[in-house]
Amino acid sequence: MALVEANISVSVDGYVTGPGVEQTAGLGAGGEALHAWVHDEQGRRLLDDEFATWGAVITSRRVYEDTGGWGEDGYLLPPRPSRGNAVGGGSDRHPPRPPRGDTGGSNRLPPRPSRDDAVGSDRMPIFVVTHRPHEPVVKSATTFTFVTEGIVAAVARAAEAAGDKVVSIMGGASIIRQAVDAGLVDRLRLNLAPVLLGSGTRLFGGGVPARLLLTAHQDTPHATHLTYQVVR
């Protein structure tokens, strides 16, 4: 049976974007600091190890659209640090989208690694929670299925696809809150960035109370990675 994990980067004061995210592309003012950890070698190794355990991904329509549908080829992450060309983070974990109608400029997604070297959500099913129906989208080896029945249905479908591997809920914040409030999350993975953003998109607040048990922690140069079991 698949383990369901919510995995997201967050500031010390609890925000997953900086202020102004509705007016600007990406993560809002100062939000790029949330994902600096994926651009150093130690952080990227940790991320690659996580990806190797995943069997399916759940995300929101907002994140899907903000990343241009995971880029042209369905491979979301930048090349490894040794390859250069790293970019800043984007909505709730991902590279920033270009301005609407623009395909160039500083926000353009970087060149991807070769398919044989790809590590990440490439080649695994991705379930997009949405209120608007959409036919499945296939980009290279990545298939996006749009789920209109809500987070419970999305988790059920992702768990079936993942088999005995991990279902990762990558955000945005609203999707993670819905999953935690519904009692669907077994493990919460917070990548805690050493920054105070002051305002922005808050991860938690006003939801169903839950008790957490810290099971692991690890430091990389730009974040502390905290793993909690959700106690039921």
CATH superfamily entry for domain 3-97+117-231: Dihydrofolate Reductase, subunit A (3.40.430.10)
State residue 118 phi and psi, 5-degree precision: -70, 135
Can you give the residue ranges of every domain in the chain? 3-97+117-231
> In whole angstroms, what is the distance from residue 87 CA to residue 105 CA?
12
Task: State residue 76's pLDDT score.
Answer: 60
Structure-token pair, residue 184 = 């669907």
Helices 173-181, 151-162: crossing angle, 10 deg rounding: 90
Model confidence at 14, pLDDT cuts 50, 70, 90, reads very high
Considering the entire predicted model, what is its pTM? 0.81
> In this predicted model, what pLDDT tens digit does every residue of 17-39 receive, in sequence order?
999 887 766 788 899 999 999 99
> In this predicted model, what pLDDT tens digit does every residue of 169-182 receive, in sequence order?
998 899 999 999 99
